[in-house]
């Protein structure tokens, strides 16, 4: 027994139009209902793989570094990229002189 994914998402901020039809169909195929506490509960039989890369460095990560991480993600993978270094925008803000509220 299955339940349509649009019914599962009806009260959420997610809209099926946000996703590629192939992703929606693949997720729909993994949803099953199990009886739990006298009520059917939807389960995903094959969750996506989560891949994480952590960079502990002070300098910003280059675009190439982020692209290389994205290259190893498969179609059904979810990626989480964490960096302790500043982003290029943050570095620009750090270099820019700050104006105080009391100066003209």
Q: What is the pLDDT of residue 1?
A: 63
pLDDT averages per 10-residue partition of the chain, 104 residues: 76 78 82 80 74 84 86 84 72 56 53
DSSP output for 25-52 = HHHHHHEEEEEETTEEEEEESSPPEEEE
Q: What is the pLDDT of residue 8?
A: 78
Which residue ranges make up each domain of the chain? 1-47, 48-96
Residue 78 parent element (H or E): strand 77-83
Q: What is the pLDDT of residue 96?
A: 53
Q: What is the pLDDT of residue 104?
A: 52
**Is the distance from CB of 40 to CB of 1 less than 8 angstroms?**
yes
**pTM: predicted TM-score of the whole model, two decimal places:** 0.42
């Amino acid at each position: 027994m299955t339940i349509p994914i649009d019914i599962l998402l009806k009260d959420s901020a997610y809209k099926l139009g946000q996703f590629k039809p192939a992703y929606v169909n693949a997720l729909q195929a993994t949803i099953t209902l199990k009886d739990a506490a006298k009520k059917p509960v939807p389960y995903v039989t094959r969750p996506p793989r989560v891949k994480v890369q952590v960079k502990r460095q002070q300098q910003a990560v280059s675009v190439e570094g982020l692209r290389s991480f994205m290259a190893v993600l498969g179609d059904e993978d979810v990626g989480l990229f964490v960096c302790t270094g500043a982003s290029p925008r943050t570095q620009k803000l750090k270099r820019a002189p700050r104006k105080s509220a009391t100066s003209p």
